[in-house]
Homo-oligomer: A and B are copies of this chain.
Amino acid sequence: MRQWTHYPALDLSPILAVSLDQIVRHGYDATSVRKIAAEVGVTVPALYYHFENKQAILMALLDHAMTTVTAHVDAAVAEAGPDPVARLSGAVEAIVLYMAHHRDLAFLDSERRSLSPANLARYVEHRDRIEGLLRDAIVSGCRAGVFRTPAPAVCGRAILAMCQGVAGWFDPSGPKKAEETAADYVRIALAAVESA
């Protein structure tokens, strides 16, 4: 139970680990394949043995991010059962924990612009699914009369955006632990939808 609150450290190949670090620090465009190779301790063509091109490295990292967050959020919502309060709470808690524990992966979201149309579509689809999860929970809460917000769709987007913001400021060595922050955000989200 509540297995989805656990976010173990990432298990990435050396190339992906170095690439993630470099992209987070300097951005995708400013990260050259030469720099990645040098940091890994291999030559450039070694990268091309494992990945078709530079964008495939970014996409592999984004795939990792997508599967990680989707698995946790889906598990949280499934465990919550049919109650809209529990579903929204679970989704927000899982998302915030992800943002706090994997700030680097979360940052990659801002590099989606570098994706080809096909890859971008796949990524956007995933993001829409999570937004849909939030919106559905809010809408069903409104139908059940437990949420009173007059704008469920806008509310869903607002909540997702505020959760994503956590990755930008959360400090693991700061005063608030990830779990406390997640609890704060659950309370804020429930208040935002005007939970009865």
List A residues at the B interface (Cβ < 8 Å): 26-27, 29-30, 110, 113-114, 149-151, 154-155, 157-162, 164-166, 168-169, 176, 181, 184-185, 187-188, 191-194
Q: What are the residues of chain B within 8 A of A162 when measuring CB–CB?
A: 158-159, 161-162, 165
Main secondary structure of the interface of A (DSSP, over half): helix
Bound CA–CA A50/B155 (angstroms): 44
Closest beta carbon of chain B to A104's beta carbon, Å: 14
Residues B155 and A188 in contact, CB atoms below 8 Å apart: yes
Sample of 12 more A-B contacts, CB < 8 Å, known A30-B114, A154-B181:
A27-B29, A27-B113, A110-B110, A154-B176, A154-B185, A157-B169, A158-B162, A161-B161, A161-B164, A162-B162, A162-B165, A191-B192
Number of copies: 2
Given A155-B188, A191-B192, are A160 and B165 also a contact pair (CB < 8 Å)?
A: yes
Given known pairs A110-B110, A164-B165, the reply for A188 and B29 (CB within 8 Å) is: no
Chain B residue with Cβ nearest A161: B165
Kindly list chain B residues whose C-beta atoms are within 8 Å of the C-beta of A188.
Answer: 149, 151, 154-155, 158, 192
In the complex, A166 Cα to B29 Cα: how many Å? 25
Could you tell me the distance between the alpha carbons of A75 and B114 in the complex, rounded to whole angstroms?
A: 38
Query: Shortest beta-carbon distance, A117 to chain B, in Å?
Result: 14
Q: What residues of B have a CB within 8 angstroms of the CB of A30 in the complex?
A: 29, 114
The CA of A26 and the CA of B29, in the complex, are separated in Å by: 11
Q: How far is the CB of A111 from chain B (nearest CB, A)?
A: 9
The contact sample of 6 A-B pairs, CB cut-off 8 A, is A154-B185, A155-B184, A158-B162, A161-B161, A162-B165, A191-B192
A148, closest chain B residue (CB): B191
